[in-house]
Amino acid sequence: MVEVERRSAQRHRTLKAGHIAFNRAGTIDCRVRNLSEIGACLEVAGQVGIPDEFTLLIEYDHLKRRCRVMWRSPKQLGVKFIPEAVVAEIAAQQPADEKAQP
């Protein structure tokens, strides 16, 4: 059976250290297995505690991108990068008291 590629952008194989950041203080280490302009495949020790949306940090590339999980397996997850315009729009819709929290 031939697998059909459904991604809209070609991903490039890589092996980089990354961090899944959420809740302003929590991080989970990951490995970036492939990367494109619109998403990535991340390898993790386990899925426990990883939210559906988070910030991916790749220090080597100075990359910081908001992500949405598109699929999960026990040790991997596929993420789609959330466009910066959407991130700004979501932030603008938050009540002022939520923005002011440390």
pLDDT-derived band at 4, boundaries 50, 70, 90? very low
Structure tokens at 27: 């991080």
- Mean pLDDT, rounded, of the chain: 81
Query: What is the set of domains in the chain, with CATH numbers?
Result: 12-96 (2.40.10.430)
pTM of the model: 0.73
Q: Encode pLDDT of 28-77 as tens digits.
A: 999 999 999 999 999 999 998 899 999 999 998 899 999 999 999 999 99
pLDDT-derived band at 25, boundaries 50, 70, 90? confident
User: Which residue in 85, 7, 64, 87 sits closest to 41, CA to CA?
Assistant: 7
CB 68 within 8 A of CB 79: yes
